[in-house]
Amino acid sequence: MAQSDDEYASAENARRLRDSVKRGTIAAVQMNPPRCRVSFGGEHQSGWLQWFTHATSERVDWSAPSVGDPVTVVSEGGDTRNGVVMLGLHIDNKAPPSTDPHDHVTAYCDGATLTYNTENHTLIWQGVPEGIVKILGESKIEILGRADVTVTSENVVNIHGGKLINADADVINVTATDTINAHADLVNVIATSSVNVTAANSISLTAETIRALAPGGITLAGPTHITETLVVDKLATFRNDISVTGDNGGTGNITTRGSVLAGQEVQDRQGTITEVRTTYNGHTHTCPDGETQQPNQPMA
């Protein structure tokens, strides 16, 4: 029996209504332009359809679907050629990234997650062992914290400045369980007041030349060992005893091109200068200008 026009129209309307919203799975994906095909079971597939994403003229989100993802196709007028693929249905055989109602989680297929918890106000980016987190800025990048800002790594923290690295604070603490290294062509340590260097064991300074300029003086509190030569261009003042000891036989020498002035007695292992004068001046001596005539003449 031939179908009447009313029956045909009724059947067509029922088909359009049935096809206006259909469930399926992603069968194929192309990236440019972004389109996907949807399988509705068996060999029945849609054409290349756009998938829904958050996109405006000001901002676009990008997250391409994968083959097998469950979707819903919404078709205008029940014509699947005009369909839009709605993503976002949970997959039964894949556990959700969280069961906490306070979590907002973005989970990636490689295991990385971005989580914000509205109850404890914590934002966590959880990467993967071989992953890289990059923050790129063509202008200025600022990290501001009203409380503490902590950067922790179980391996190495690298800070590279193409021109300059500034660290500004009331107090800057640098602590290492082993070694602190500073490498540069020039290292400047500038303080408007004082610079304190304290070591529980020893402090080593190694260079071709070490210069210390202190108009107010330099104080060395403790035994000072100079293995080579000490050169004093102006005045050297010693406020206590000076002990000169050589390595060979316990002897050492003092060599001077000027005078040695002593406010008290000067002596060596043979005696004092007074005893030398007494011995020298106690009798006459033959000199280029003649013999001395009496004791206590100035020693020539």
* Chain segment 170-223, per-residue pLDDT in tens: 888 888 888 888 887 888 888 888 888 888 888 888 888 888 888 888 888 888
User: Half-sphere exposure (CA, 13 Å, Cβ side) for 48?
Assistant: 7
56 Cβ contact list (under 8 Å, min separation 6): none
Residue linked to tokens 């972004």 = 34
Is this prediction's pTM over 0.85? no
Tokens of 47: 């054409």
Question: What values do phi and psi take at 286, rounded to 5?
Answer: -90, 120
Judging by DSSP bridges, how do beta strands 83-86 and 267-268 pair with one another?
Answer: unpaired
Determine the Cα angle at 37 with ends 32 and 40, to 5°.
Answer: 170
Average predicted confidence (pLDDT) for the chain: 82
Question: What values do phi and psi take at 182, rounded to 5?
Answer: -125, 115
What is d(CA 55, CA 58) in angstroms, rounded to the nearest whole number?
8
Q: What percent of the chain has pLDDT over 70?
A: 88
- Position 21, amino acid: V
Domains assigned to the chain: 5-86 (2.40.50.230), 95-128 (no CATH)
| pLDDT of res. 118 | 96
